[in-house]
Amino acid sequence: MSGAGCVAYGDCNTEGVDGYAGALWAGLVADAWGLRLTNCGHTMSTTRELRRYAEFFPPANYSLALIQYGLVDAWLTFRGAPYVLYYPDNPWRRFLRKWVKKIKKRARRFRLHERLGSVEQVPLPEYLAHIRQVVTSAPDTLFVLVATAPNRDESRNPHIRRYNAALETLARELDNAVYADAYEAIWAQRDRTLMADGTHLTEAGHRLLADRVIRALRQRQQAA
């Protein structure tokens, strides 16, 4: 695989958290295949931002595309909660997001999750539809659908596992996609692979995730 470059779409664990200076998993994957990386990772983003990024950085322009979302998509919020895109960003959206954060803080205080019901930030059918649309838009590009890492807040993990299972099924349905999963390996070594905040990958976590993605690509290459 060479020539057209690699694009990575994802959340904070693709972009890299502020202050982190180590290797990023997407960069390690691109380096392993000799590809120049375009990193479209964005903190707090979901597959809704994926659709926007794919408009600005079309996957058809790359030979390899990496998709890693689910951490925020699978996050529970109250039914009907507002959402403001993180990309493309502008001052008006930043202002609105501050108000959304205040609304959600008050929602917890007034227990709106119990009164209105809880839903994922991006419901699973919508999550899958966004990814399917992007993958099928570029049939000549090879996609790696990357499982979301576990969280030290274990209450979040059942939802993350549910999204990962659906992502694996989707990858099997798409001719130009493979699934890469480091969930169990990251969890087994969580003291090394997850930062103290419980969410972000350490350098060991990034390297472990990159290893699983590279392994999935090599298996695909051998099967071709």
29-56 pLDDT, tens per residue? 999 999 999 999 999 999 999 999 999 9
Instruction: Give the helix/strand (H/E) hosting 132.
Output: helix 124-136
- How far apart are alpha carbons 95 and 157 in whole angstroms? 31
- How far apart are alpha carbons 29 and 141 in whole angstroms? 16
Residues 6+ apart with CB under 8 A from 115: 78
pLDDT digits (tens, 9 = 90+) for 199-220: 999 999 999 999 999 999 999 9
Binned at pLDDT 50, 70 and 90, residue 3 comes out as low
Between 177 and 78, name the one with better pLDDT: 177
What pTM did the predictor assign? Answer: 0.93
In this model, does residue 1 exceed pLDDT 90? no
Range 63-79 average pLDDT: 91
State residue 100's pLDDT score: 67
- How far apart are alpha carbons 191 and 194 in whole angstroms? 6
pLDDT digits (tens, 9 = 90+) for 130-145: 999 999 999 999 999 9
Between 103 and 92, name the one with better pLDDT: 92
Residues 6+ apart with CB under 8 A from 15: 39, 41, 42, 43
State residue 2's pLDDT score: 46
Partners of 65 in beta bridges: 7, 143
